[in-house]
Amino acid sequence: MAERKTRKGMRDAGAPAGIAGADLFGLDLDPPDSDTPEPGTRTDEAHYQGHRARLYSRFLEGGPDALQDHELLEMILFAVNPRRDVKPLAKALIREFGDLWTVVNAPPERLRGCNVDGVSLASDKAVAMIRVVGAAGLRGMRQRVMNRPVLASWQALLDYCTAAMAHKPTEQFRLLFLDRKNKLIADEVQQTGTVDHTPVYPREVVKRALELSASAIILVHNHPSGDPTPSRADIEMTKEIVRAAHAVGVMVHDHVIVGRGKHASFKAQGLM
């Protein structure tokens, strides 16, 4: 039986030094199934080809809920390496990043070079195959809320903002621009900051609203810590934007802070 790669061997297989994705190489992988044939043999090839066929059938018959997260990720990885077992890599990626959504939205530099048992994300194609799934998901969610009244699609809007921002490693300040009928006419990221601060300039917020002929705006930003509780700086910054917007006839409907799995609404909390 061929020995599994050691941590050092996996790291030597081509992972770029110094990137966060290299932490993947320190993970203890699940031991091979007792019925898994020796890698590189004809029996092995027949085994994983049969496994792929079974995943396809389960997915088509039972939908995505019939598969675990790592199995859905396997199906994405099939195109990355059509002749090798990608299950160990899929499981390791889920373990490294925490969940499927974070994997498919991970920065390219964290994905590139991840290698398990000789199956790697070494090429641009491999990284792009994963990233395009996250991009497609976000675009679909965005299309559900654009040009629609925000009150009629408020939960869909929160879901979109959470998916787009909750797992970002740094703070991001997003502006949602509304017309007179409160339809969402533009969705823009205005600033990206550090892990606990984003510089926001009320004059720039108002200027952009006027350029788009927006009647109202919704402020959204994330807390990478996962806790959406507004800080004193968040509250003061919101007051400044409300004053600047009011001076030119633009309403600020709400300021939403996105955390991991939860959010905070300034309006609901009586902070504006």
Residue 230 located in a structural domain:
yes
Calculate the alpha carbon distances from 156 to 63, 141, 142, 150, 204 in Å. Answer: 22, 8, 9, 9, 27
* Domain shared by 26 and 129, yes or no: yes
What's the angle, vertex CA 188, arms to CA 76 and CA 227, rounded to 5?
A: 75
Least-confidence region, from 25-29, 62-66, 257-261: 25-29
Would you say 149 and 178 are in contact if contact means Cβ atoms under 8 Å apart?
Answer: no
Tell me the pLDDT tens digit for each residue of 210-242.
999 999 999 999 999 999 999 999 999 999 999
* Domain shared by 123 and 208, yes or no: no
From 137, 170, 192, the end of a domain falls on 137
* Domain shared by 112 and 179, yes or no: no
Tell me the pLDDT tens digit for each residue of 54-63.
999 999 999 9
* Domain shared by 91 and 44, yes or no: yes
From 111, 137, 163, the end of a domain falls on 137
Q: What is the DSSP string of 12-42?
A: TTTPPTT-GGGGGGGS-PPPPPTTPPPTTSH
pTM of the entire predicted model: 0.75
Residue 2 located in a structural domain:
no
* Domain shared by 43 and 151, yes or no: no
Residue 98 located in a structural domain:
yes
Calculate the alpha carbon distances from 100 to 73, 76, 140, 269 in Å. Answer: 7, 11, 17, 32
Question: Which runs of consecutive H residues, i.e. helices, occur in the chain?
Answer: 7-11, 42-62, 69-77, 87-97, 100-104, 108-111, 124-145, 154-165, 202-211, 232-247
pLDDT-derived band at 20, boundaries 50, 70, 90: very low
From 84, 110, 137, the end of a domain falls on 137
Would you say 176 and 220 are in contact if contact means Cβ atoms under 8 Å apart?
Answer: yes
pLDDT-derived band at 81, boundaries 50, 70, 90: confident
Residue 1 located in a structural domain:
no
Three-state secondary structure call for residue 50:
helix
* Domain shared by 261 and 162, yes or no: yes
* Domain shared by 168 and 97, yes or no: no
Q: What sign has the CA pseudo-torsion 74, 80, 83, 88?
A: negative
* Domain shared by 100 and 187, yes or no: no
* Domain shared by 154 and 225, yes or no: yes
Residue 272 located in a structural domain:
no
Would you say 210 and 219 are in contact if contact means Cβ atoms under 8 Å apart?
Answer: no
Residue 100 located in a structural domain:
yes
Tell me the pLDDT tens digit for each residue of 175-186.
999 999 999 999
* Domain shared by 126 and 159, yes or no: no
Tell me what pLDDT residue 50 has: 84
* Domain shared by 133 and 153, yes or no: no
* Domain containing residue 172: CATH number: 3.40.140.10
- Give the count of domains, the chain: 2
pLDDT of 190 above 70:
yes
d(CA 44, CA 15): 26
* Domain shared by 122 and 238, yes or no: no
Residue 142 located in a structural domain:
no
d(CA 38, CA 3): 10
Query: What is the domain extent for residue 196?
Result: 147-265
